[in-house]
Amino acid sequence: MDTPLTDVEDLVEQLTLEEKVSLLSGADGWHTQNIVRLGIGSIKATDGPAGARGELSVGGQTAALLPAPVLQAATWSKECVKALGRILSSEAQSKSADILLAPTICCMRNPLGGRNFESFSEDPVLSGKLGIEYVAGVQESGKVAATAKHYVANEQEYHRFSVSAELEETALREIYLRPFEMFVKSDHPPHCLMTAYNRVNLEHMDMHETLVKRVLREEWGYQGLVMSDWGGTNSTVQSVLAGCDLEMPGPPLRRGSKLLAELTSSQDSELRRAIDESCTRLLALAKRSGKIGLNAIDTENSRHRPEATCTSRDDLATLRRIAGFGTVLLKNDRQALPLDPASLHGKNIAFIGQNAVKGASNGGGSAAINPQYLSQPLDSFCTALSDEGINATVRSALGCRTDKWLPLLSKTTWRVAPETDDLLMVEFFSSIDCTGPIIEQQLRQSSNVDLFDSGPASLRDSGKPYSLRLTSTLIPAMSGTHSFGLSSVGNAKLYINDDLLLDNTHWKGLSETFYAFGSPESRVSVAMQAGQSYTVRVESWSKAGNEENSDSSDNADSMHVYGAQPSVRLGFLEEEKSTILEAVELAKSSDLVVVIIGLSEEWESEGYDRQTMDLPGKQDELVSSLLDSVELRERIIVVNQSGSPVHMPWQEKAPTILQAWYGGQEAGNTLADVLLGYTSPNGRLPMTWPRSYSDLPFAKDPATWPGIDGVVKYREGVKVGYRWFHDTETEPQWWFGYGLSYTTFSHTILSISTLRDKWIATVRVTNTRYVAAEELVQVYVWPSQQPSLKSLAAFERTCLIRPGDEEVLKVEIQLRDIANWVDGGWHLSEGSYAVACAKHAGDRDMSVQYVTIAHATL
Predicted pLDDT of residue 715: 98
Residue 761's SS3 state is strand
Check whether 267 has a pLDDT greater than 90: no
- Confirm if 47 and 35 have CB atoms less than 8 A apart: no
Predicted pLDDT of residue 5: 59
Taking phi over 0 as left and psi of -120 to 50 as alpha, with beta for the rest, 159 belongs to left
Query: Going by C-beta distance under 8 Å and a sequence separation of 6 or more, which residues neighbour residue 343?
Result: none
Q: How many whole angstroms separate alpha carbon 291 and alpha carbon 11?
A: 13
Predicted pLDDT of residue 770: 84
- Confirm if 783 and 831 have CB atoms less than 8 A apart: yes
Mean pLDDT of the 59-76 span? 97
Number of helices and strands in the chain (H, E): 19, 35
Mean pLDDT of the 809-827 span? 95
Q: How many whole angstroms separate alpha carbon 836 and alpha carbon 802?
A: 24
Predicted pLDDT of residue 130: 98
Angle, helices 580-588 vs 619-627, to 10°: value is: 30
- Give the dihedral sign, CA 586/590/596/597: positive
> pLDDT tens-digit profile of 105-125?
999 999 999 999 999 999 999
Confidence of residue 294 (pLDDT cuts 50, 70, 90): low
Mean pLDDT of the 796-819 span? 96
Confidence of residue 756 (pLDDT cuts 50, 70, 90): confident
Query: Going by C-beta distance under 8 Å and a sequence separation of 6 or more, which residues neighbour residue 140?
Result: 85, 86, 89
Check whether 4 has a pLDDT greater than 80: no
Check whether 303 has a pLDDT greater than 80: no
Q: Which domains does the chain have, with CATH numbers?
A: 41-251 (3.20.20.300), 313-404+578-728 (3.40.50.1700), 414-573 (2.60.120.260), 745-853 (2.60.40.10)
- State how far the alpha carbon of 590 is from the alpha carbons of 352, 621, 624, 631, in Å: 11, 20, 17, 12
Predicted pLDDT of residue 576: 87
**Percent of the chain topping pLDDT 90:** 89
Check whether 279 has a pLDDT greater than 70: yes
**Percent of the chain topping pLDDT 70:** 96
> pLDDT tens-digit profile of 322-379?
999 999 999 999 999 999 999 999 999 999 999 999 999 999 999 999 999 999 999 9
Predicted pLDDT of residue 265: 86
Q: How many whole angstroms separate alpha carbon 196 and alpha carbon 177?
A: 13
Residue 387's SS3 state is helix
Residue 693's SS3 state is helix
Among 387, 417, 568, 384, CA closest to 490: 568
Check whether 558 has a pLDDT greater than 90: no
Confidence of residue 506 (pLDDT cuts 50, 70, 90): confident
Is the model's pTM score more than 0.75? Answer: yes
Residue 831's SS3 state is strand
- Confirm if 842 and 778 have CB atoms less than 8 A apart: no
Predicted pLDDT of residue 856: 63
Mean pLDDT of the 837-843 span? 97
N-term to C-term CA, the chain:
53
Confidence of residue 1 (pLDDT cuts 50, 70, 90): very low
- Confirm if 396 and 349 have CB atoms less than 8 A apart: no
Among 413, 414, 438, CA closest to 426: 438
Active site residues: 229
Predicted pLDDT of residue 198: 98
Predicted pLDDT of residue 295: 67
Predicted pLDDT of residue 3: 47
Predicted pLDDT of residue 550: 41
Q: How many whole angstroms separate alpha carbon 465 and alpha carbon 791?
A: 54
Least confident of 29-38, 498-507, 558-567, 741-750: 558-567
For 734, phi and psi rounded to 5 degrees?
-145, 140
DSSP state for residue 225 in the 8-state scheme: E
**What mean pLDDT value characterizes the chain?**
94
- Confirm if 622 and 400 have CB atoms less than 8 A apart: yes
Report the Cα 751 to chain-centroid distance in Å: 39
DSSP state for residue 457 in the 8-state scheme: H
Q: How many whole angstroms separate alpha carbon 646 and alpha carbon 512?
A: 20
> pLDDT tens-digit profile of 661-709?
999 999 999 999 999 999 999 999 999 999 999 999 999 999 999 999 9
Report the Cα 108 to chain-centroid distance in Å: 12
- Confirm if 623 and 580 have CB atoms less than 8 A apart: no
Predicted pLDDT of residue 341: 96
Angle, helices 78-94 vs 124-139, to 10°: value is: 40
Among 313, 324, 343, CA closest to 679: 324
Q: How many whole angstroms separate alpha carbon 705 and alpha carbon 109?
A: 10
DSSP run (H or E) holding 500: strand 499-504
- State how far the alpha carbon of 378 is from the alpha carbons of 268, 301, 425, 509, 595, in Å: 65, 44, 33, 39, 11
Among 145, 127, 46, 147, CA closest to 81: 127
- Confirm if 715 and 814 have CB atoms less than 8 A apart: no
Q: How many whole angstroms separate alpha carbon 79 and alpha carbon 289?
A: 26
> pLDDT tens-digit profile of 603-644?
999 999 999 999 999 999 999 999 998 889 999 999 999 999
Least confident of 155-159, 549-553, 671-675: 549-553
> Which strands sit side by side in the sheet containing 656-659, from one edge to the other?
328-332, 656-659, 636-641, 592-598, 348-352, 393-397
Residue 624's SS3 state is helix
- Confirm if 119 and 104 have CB atoms less than 8 A apart: yes
Task: Compute how many other C-beta atoms are within 10 angstroms of the C-beta atom of residue 14.
Answer: 16
- Confirm if 641 and 660 have CB atoms less than 8 A apart: yes
Q: How many whole angstroms separate alpha carbon 642 and alpha carbon 114?
A: 11
Q: What is the dihedral of CA 79, 84, 87, 89, to 10 degrees?
A: -100
Q: Give the CA radius of gyration of the chain.
A: 27
DSSP run (H or E) holding 723: helix 722-728
